[in-house]
């Protein structure tokens, strides 16, 4: 029987298939390169502009005049080509696409490595380079080698201060940064049903940190409810009794707060082991942990208190920001002394809005802690929003209480 990736792509693992693409998107960085590649190819008319998206998220608001000019040119290209544009402040591409755009069973490609995030919705979603994206925009389709699948079988329930980010760090540590190269990670088991859509997006997001092609959940009641909030009706996907390349068993009751230490995502320690490490900055946001659940968890811990180090909180999208305002969560975060950024990627890629100086240390809820990623000479530790909140209050890495 077929895995979910095999069912969507219509062939068994190892075969090569040509597939129409349901949605193909680029952001303000890769969109410029995609447009240039199309010009070099001599492509002027795009066959399926309704399937395409441009999303400004990486360097927004623009940090230099050069960036602003490139973005202005890309806006005009989108208008002239009939491509839907999510402009500066709309949010991170993966979050924007998760808000009623991507549906179960779709084939989705994005010119960003964390496109695998959208597998949380039951789609086959993967990242491609800008040149491949140009070919997809020009033709409407692409080829895939159908990946073998590794099952991440979840049992039990997350409890106490542990949350889906800790689970994500746990499976990355088990697999290693090359342990699932060109595989699909399929999240299954009774424990998967208890994870919210925000949590699933976090888990799928970090699949690429193991080398995986995608990280995918079967659409179920959680998916149906999530998409219903955006006026979209879908049906659950029924898991089959399929054969996986291998299965990794994780008992959610065993998950505790974890931290990835510099400079590898798979170098993971229990938060207890690194507690007391001094930090200069806390960053909560990104396509990994800038969603409503993350902001709510962070707010519960800092409510009525004051942060001890500079703390930057950037919602993943305008809709997340609006909900946080409406529910009073944002006020709690601001009152605690945090700085709020415009929805987008922020300092995750080291371009602006909170980059690190030489020798500075940041505890971040992002997905990568590579050397110099957030600024030359800076160090990055990765954690959940709860660990970030507890640490922001003390100025050192701190294990969160149940919240």
Peptide linkage before 263 cis (omega within 30 of 0): yes
Please say whether the beta carbons of 128 and 111 come within 8 A. yes
- Region at 307 (left for phi over 0; alpha for psi -120 to 50; beta for the rest): beta
Extents of the domains making up the chain: 1-256, 259-394
Closest by Cα among 13, 54, 12 to 32: 54
Q: State how far the Cα of 60 lies from the Cα of 91, in Å rounded to an integer.
A: 9
Indicate the fold that domain 259-394 takes in CATH: Aconitase; domain 3 (3.30.499)
Fold match between domain 1-256 and domain 259-394: yes
For the four alpha carbons of 277, 283, 284 and 288, in that order, the dihedral sign comes to negative
pLDDT one-digit tens code per residue, 327-366: 999 999 999 999 999 999 888 887 888 899 999 999 999 9
E runs forming strands in 123-207: 124-127, 141-145, 148-155, 183-188
The reported pLDDT for the residue numbered 240 is: 80
In sequence order, what are the residues at sequence separation of 6 or more whose Cβ sits closer than 8 angstroms to the Cβ of residue 19? 9, 10, 107, 141, 142, 143, 144
Homologous superfamily of the 1-256 domain (CATH):
Aconitase, domain 3 (3.30.499.10)
Query: Could you say which DSSP state residue 169 is in?
Result: H
Structure confidence at residue 350 (pLDDT): 79
pLDDT tens by residue, 8-49: 999 999 999 999 999 999 999 999 999 999 999 999 899 999
Which are the contacts of 275, defined by CB distance < 8 A and separation ≥ 6?
396, 397, 398, 399
User: Which pTM was predicted?
Assistant: 0.95
- pLDDT confidence tier of residue 403, bands split at 50, 70 and 90: very low
pLDDT classification of 370: cutoffs 50, 70, 90: confident
- What's the CA gap between 377 and 355, in Å, rounded? 11
Q: Once rounded to an integer, what is the mean pLDDT over residues 62-91? A: 95
Helix axes 130-139, 28-41, angle to 10 degrees: 60
Model pLDDT for residues 194-253, shown as the tens digit of each residue: 999 999 999 999 999 999 999 999 999 999 999 999 999 999 998 888 899 999 999 999
Which of 362, 388, 399 is CA-nearest to residue 377?
A: 362
Which 3 state secondary structure label does DSSP give 378? coil
Q: Which helix (H) or strand (E) holds 259?
A: strand 258-260
Which H/E stretch holds residue 165?
helix 164-175
CA–CA gap between residue 340 and residue 345 (Å, rounded): 13
Q: What is the largest CA-CA distance in the chain?
A: 59
């Amino acid at each position: 029987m077929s895995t979910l990736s095999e069912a969507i792509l219509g062939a068994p693992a190892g075969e090569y298939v040509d597939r129409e693409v349901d949605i193909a998107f680029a952001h303000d960085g890769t969109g410029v390169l995609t447009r240039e590649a199309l010009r070099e190819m001599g492509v002027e008319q795009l066959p399926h502009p309704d399937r395409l998206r441009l999303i400004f998220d990486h360097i927004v608001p623009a940090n230099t005049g050069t960036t602003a000019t490139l973005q202005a040119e890309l806006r005009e290209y989108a208008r002239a080509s009939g491509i839907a544009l999510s402009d500066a402040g709309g949010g991170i591409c993966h979050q924007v696409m998760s808000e009623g755009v991507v549906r179960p069973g779709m084939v989705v490609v994005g010119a960003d490595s964390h496109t695998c995030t959208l597998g949380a919705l039951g789609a086959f979603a993967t990242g491609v380079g800008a040149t491949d994206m140009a070919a997809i925009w020009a033709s409407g389709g692409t080829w895939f080698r159908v990946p073998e699948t590794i099952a991440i079988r979840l049992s039990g329930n997350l409890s106490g201060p542990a949350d889906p980010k800790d689970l994500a760090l746990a499976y990355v540590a088990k697999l290693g940064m090359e342990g699932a190269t060109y595989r699909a990670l399929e999240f299954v088991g009774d424990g998967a049903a208890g994870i919210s859509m925000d949590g699933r997006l976090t888990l799928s997001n970090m699949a690429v940190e193991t080398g995986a092609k995608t990280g995918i959940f079967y659409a179920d009641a959680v998916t149906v409810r999530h998409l219903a909030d955006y006026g979209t009706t879908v049906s659950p996907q029924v898991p089959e009794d399929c054969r996986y390349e291998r299965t990794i068993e994780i008992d959610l009751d065993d998950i505790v707060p974890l931290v990835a230490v510099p400079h590898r995502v798979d170098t993971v320690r229990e938060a207890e082991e690194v507690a007391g490490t001094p930090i200069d900055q806390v960053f909560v946001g990104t396509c990994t942990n800038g969603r409503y659940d993350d902001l709510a968890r962070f707010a519960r811990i800092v409510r009525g208190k004051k942060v001890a180090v500079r703390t930057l909180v950037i919602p993943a999208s305008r809709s997340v920001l609006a909900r946080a305002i409406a529910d009073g969560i944002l006020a709690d975060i601001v009152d605690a002394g945090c700085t709020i950024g415009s929805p987008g990627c922020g300092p995750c890629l080291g371009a602006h809005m909170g980059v690190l100086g030489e020798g500075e240390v940041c505890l971040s809820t992002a997905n990568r802690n590579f050397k110099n990623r957030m600024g030359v000479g800076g160090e990055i530790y990765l954690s959940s929003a709860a660990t970030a909140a507890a640490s922001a209050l003390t100025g050192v890495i701190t294990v969160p209480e149940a919240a």
